Amino acid sequence: MDVATVAEKVAEAAVRERETAEQLRGNGSFYEFEMDRERLAAIWLATHAEWRRVRDLMTAVGWSVYEPERDAQGSVWAREREERFTAALAAPAAFGERLGERQGEEADELRAEVWLSAASSRLIQVVADRAGLRPSQVLTQLAEQIVVAEDGTVSVPSFTPSL
């Protein structure tokens, strides 16, 4: 990841941090997320701080490209995050296996948390508002329209989200 890309990440995190902080204070509509406002605001605050740390490290050390394996602090944090993530997935995965055995075809359903860029999030919100839907409903309808070609390419024909 080069300096320009890191700068873009810092800028995007700053926008998301500001947006979630404003929404937390009640100054804007909040997107349909499966988490509470305080947690989302804290996540973007931490993400913004981490991208600034990476940018400052690159500047201080003179790197033109960020290499995570050379970032001692970032590597420790990444390893700790991975350990927490693995542990957090263990119990639900076991539950999911048991549930899948009992529910047959319902196990084919997918529940996902999707993190979109600020621009994509705003676009989904605009479409949802126009259609009178929640953003999660727009994404569900979008996913239902997916067409996979023989060569593996994925596309979505034009459609209008509706109730």
Domain ranges of the chain: 1-66, 114-163
pLDDT tens readout for residues 27-47: 555 554 445 677 788 888 889
Question: Closest by alpha carbon to 113, among 145, 88, 133, 77?
Answer: 88
Residue 28 Cα distances to 19, 22, 31, 37, 117, angstroms: 8, 7, 9, 12, 18
Write out the H or E segment, with its range, that includes residue 124.
Answer: helix 118-131
74: CB partners within 8 A, 6+ apart: 50, 53, 54, 57, 68
Whole-number pLDDT of residue 32: 46
pLDDT tens readout for residues 103-135: 555 556 777 777 888 888 888 988 988 899 988
Whole-number pLDDT of residue 8: 94
